Amino acid sequence: MALHWSLKQLRLVALAAASGSYAKAAQELNLSPPAVTAQMKALEEELGMPVFERVAGALRPTAAGKELIAAAQRVSQALGEAERAILALKSPDAGAVVVGVVSTAKYFAPMALAAFRKRHPAIELKLVIGNRADIIAGLANLDVDLAVMGRPPLDLDAEMEVIGDHPHVVIAPPEHRLARRRRLTPHDLAREAFLMREEGSGTRMLMEKVFAEAGAPPPPIAMEIGSNETIKQAAMAGLGLSFISAHTVAAEVADGRLTILEVRGLPVMRQWLVVRARGKRLLPAGQALQAFLAREGGSYLPRMSGPKVSAPSR
């Protein structure tokens, strides 16, 4: 037998779970507490099981209640998308786009987004900067419309378009003893202390792959740092070398505060991508931004200077 729930009942469940009280849920919806109690009683009779249990005087959702809360979230999201779609149909060059940007891409993505905004002033851009895991989670739960990242998400059915090349290099302070050496190899760097990103980061995994493919042991870790900005400051202070996105150090290399070591096989070239979860319905505003980043986003990538960036090995 099919179950029949109302949107009001689903919303009541979500509000009661958030507040821990039927009375607070009633206040939120401008209903009387008896009316809410009657609605919840009817819902539990329909389900044939309780939606909440009381723990220390507060409501706690049962397994059935958690399912209803998840359903309420999906319904709310679908209604929100429908509302935005209808508004977009009324004004195709308006609307809002939530853009997730991995922290490494913050050195160029805001400039690209600003250029897009100048062409489409009626489109609101909501920028979310986070680590790779956070941005992928936003794509997966459909909170993020588009994401700018440097490595495709492996466990997400996604559509991707290339923005441009993304080189990775080894940096050092200009006075480092290896700064003037030519044609270094990973073996030459294997005893140098390195400033590394956290375990599991894309940059760190790529560095480990470079050393492994060259048959060189991984270098010792001077410091494990979760921020590219802090890595740059530590490298300039002489605390170690670092394998890093060349785009994050373009300004420091240009003004001589850091140098790029000439290492055989580097830079390792990856690509910047604009990514959309296939389950995410892009409205016209999002479609326009996706097309813009794929077509013109590469022109906003930092320009690399200095002769020490050698061609990658084949």
Q: For the chain, which domains are there?
A: 7-85 (1.10.10.10), 92-164+271-300 (3.40.190.10), 166-269 (3.40.190.10)
Percent of the chain with pLDDT over 90: 56
* Angstrom distances, CA of residue 128 to CA of 21, 43, 100, 136, 163: 33, 38, 5, 12, 18
Terminal-residue alpha carbon distance, the chain: 64
Residue 200 has pLDDT above 90, yes or no: no
- Cβ atoms within 10 Å of 254's Cβ, excluding its own: 14
Per-residue model confidence as pLDDT tens digits over 255-274: 999 999 999 999 999 999 99
Residue 24 has pLDDT above 90, yes or no: no
Q: Residue 172 class from Cβ within 10 Å (0-12 exposed, 13-18 middle, 19+ buried)?
A: buried
Say what the pLDDT of residue 25 is. 83
Residue 64 has pLDDT above 80, yes or no: yes
- Cβ atoms within 10 Å of 198's Cβ, excluding its own: 12
Say what the pLDDT of residue 129 is. 93
Give the residue with greater pLDDT, 144 vs 131: 144
Residue 152 has pLDDT above 70, yes or no: yes
**Coil, strand or helix at 196:** strand
Say what the pLDDT of residue 83 is. 80
242's tokens: 């670092």
Residue 310 has pLDDT above 70, yes or no: no
Say what the pLDDT of residue 92 is. 59
Percent of the chain with pLDDT over 70: 93
Whole-model pTM?
0.66
CA-closest candidate to residue 276, choices 110, 153, 106: 153
Top mean-pLDDT range of 29-43, 50-64, 164-178: 164-178
Q: Band the pLDDT of 313: cuts 50, 70, 90.
A: very low
Residue 127 has pLDDT above 90, yes or no: yes
**Coil, strand or helix at 298:** helix
Residue 189 has pLDDT above 80, yes or no: yes
Mean predicted confidence (pLDDT) in 127-135: 91
Distance of alpha carbon 283 from alpha carbon 293, whole angstroms? 16
Mean predicted confidence (pLDDT) in 88-103: 81
Mean pLDDT over the full length of the chain = 88
Distance of alpha carbon 195 from alpha carbon 191, whole angstroms? 13
* Angstrom distances, CA of residue 125 to CA of 147, 164, 179, 298: 12, 21, 42, 19
Say what the pLDDT of residue 232 is. 96
Mean predicted confidence (pLDDT) in 10-24: 86
Q: What is the DSSP secondary structure assignment for residue 157, as one 8-state letter?
A: -
